[in-house]
Amino acid sequence: MGTFIPYNDGLHRAAFFKLTVEFLQWYAEQVFTWHQIDVEALTDQTVEDYAEQVLDDFTGIDPTQGILYVIRVDGKIVGMGALKQREAGVGEIKRMFIRPAYRGRGYGKALLEQLIGFAHIVGYTRLRLETADFSTTAHRLYRSAGFTRIDEYPGVETPEWYRPYCLYMEKHLHPM
């Protein structure tokens, strides 16, 4: 099994940036495949530029309100996932991504469990997330963990032009 490591800027920044770019490239490819939308042409921004733009938002998560994990397997960073505060009492799951070669091994489920566990520690009563319509395996994972569909919520990262293709989900947390 992989090791879930809290992000350390001095150790993980380059690997996290590379993984973020890989995630965004994969995402853009899926958007084109599913919806024939060329994200870079539409936004006039490369995935690398966007990754750089949002990097500090993820790497600077306040550890009293959330966490960013990287997953290491055999010395390689193969996945990531974050928990951020959305509003008082509400956390948001972000950037859950496992490299394709490492999918199907339970890393996504274990990562989600880690993030939910951390949400309990910091006292969140609800968790939210947004996910693309094409992430059907992730949808099953989230539903199996107790997430249900909700309407779009304030502050989502996805640009307005892509929101019709997103699912928004929420899980109510009970004290442990």
pLDDT the model gives residue 176: 65
Name the pLDDT band for 171 (thresholds 50, 70, 90): very high
To which residue do tokens 């004290």 refer? 175
pLDDT the model gives residue 174: 85
> Inter-axis angle of helices 9-35 and 47-59, to 10 degrees?
130
C-alpha 144/C-alpha 114 separation (Å) is 15
Indicate yes or no: pTM above 0.85.
yes
pLDDT in tens, 122-160: 999 999 999 999 999 999 999 999 999 999 998 888 878
> Inter-axis angle of helices 107-122 and 136-144, to 10 degrees?
50
| Overall average pLDDT of the 93-104 stretch | 93
Q: What percentage of the chain reaches a pLDDT higher than 70? A: 99
pLDDT the model gives residue 88: 93
120, with CB counted inside 10 A (0-12, 13-18, 19+), is middle
pLDDT in tens, 71-86: 999 999 999 999 999 9
Phi, psi of 42 (to 5 degrees): -65, -40
| Overall average pLDDT of the 84-99 stretch | 94
pLDDT in tens, 44-77: 788 888 888 888 888 889 999 999 999 999 999 9
| Overall average pLDDT of the 7-34 stretch | 90
The string of DSSP letters for 2-58 reads: -EEEE--HHHHHHHHHHHHHHHHHHHHHHHHHHH---HHHHHT--HHHHHHHHHHHH
What's the DSSP call for residue 63? T
Does the pLDDT of residue 42 top 80, yes or no?
no
CATH number at residue 95: 3.40.630.30
Q: What's the number of domains the chain is made of? A: 1
Structural domain boundaries, residue 67: 3-172
pLDDT the model gives residue 165: 84
Name the pLDDT band for 43 (thresholds 50, 70, 90): confident
